[in-house]
Structure 1
């Protein structure tokens, strides 16, 4: 009896460890992708901003500053658009990752429920056989 219990426990533990490893792999891949997206956006916007500041340092008079105003507004708008776009992409990726993790968890619960149901049915059949043989012995 203990051997059967130990085997079931080992199998459940192994399944849990495999599932945890799979979920961790998915979460790590998502974290890498999100970090890459944010780093690329930061690099692109920093390059544009430093180019603007380089141009701003070369302005020597009021007319030079007047031409910088529309460029500065454009830069700010592009920075905001890129931040929003990156944020939306990060949320989309994270949502897909969470859905994948949820699906894995759902499948594990369903598999555990089927296994438990099968074990209960087996135990019920064995109990009914024992009860039937005990009734026949009387």
Structure 2
């Protein structure tokens, strides 16, 4: 009896560890992708901003500064747009990862429910067999 319980417990523990490893892999892959996405966006926007500052540093008169204003607004607008699109993409990736993790959890619950149902049916049949000779 104890051997059967130990085997079931070991199998459940092994299955839990495998599932936890899969969840960790999904989460790490997502974190890596989101981090890379954000770093690329920051690099792109920093380069554009410093290019604008380089142009601003070369301006020597008021007319040159007047021509820089639309460029500054454009750089600021692009920075905001890139930040928003990067945030949306990161959110989308995270949402897909969470859906995959939820699917893993759902399959684990279904597997555990099936195994428990099979054990209950097995125990019920064994109890019915044991009760049959006693009833005679």
Give yes or no for TM over 0.5: yes
Following TM superposition, by how much is the alpha carbon of 1:15 offset from its aligned partner in structure 2, in angstroms?
0.2
In structure 1, the residue matched to 2:106 is 106
In structure 2, the residue matched to 1:50 is 50
Alpha-carbon distance between aligned partners in 2 of 1:133 and 1:94, rounded to the nearest angstrom: 60
In structure 2, the residue matched to 1:95 is 95
Residue by residue over 1:106-138, the C-alpha shift from the partner in whole angstroms, topping out at 9 and shown as x without a partner, is 0000000000000000000101111112112xx
Map 1:52-91; keep pairs closer than 5 Å: 52-91=52-91
What SS does structure 1 have at the residue aligned with 2:76?
A: helix
In structure 1, the residue matched to 2:30 is 30
Moved over 6 A (4+): none
Uncovered stretches (5+) of structure 2, i.e. residues with no partner: none
Uncovered stretches (5+) of structure 1, i.e. residues with no partner: none
Task: Give TM-score, length-normalised by structure 1.
Answer: 0.98
Alpha-carbon distance between aligned partners in 1 of 2:83 and 2:133, rounded to the nearest angstrom: 74
Alpha-carbon distance between aligned partners in 2 of 1:133 and 1:35, rounded to the nearest angstrom: 68
Task: Give TM-score, length-normalised by structure 2.
Answer: 0.99
- Count of aligned positions: 136
Alpha-carbon distance between aligned partners in 1 of 2:10 and 2:75, rounded to the nearest angstrom: 59
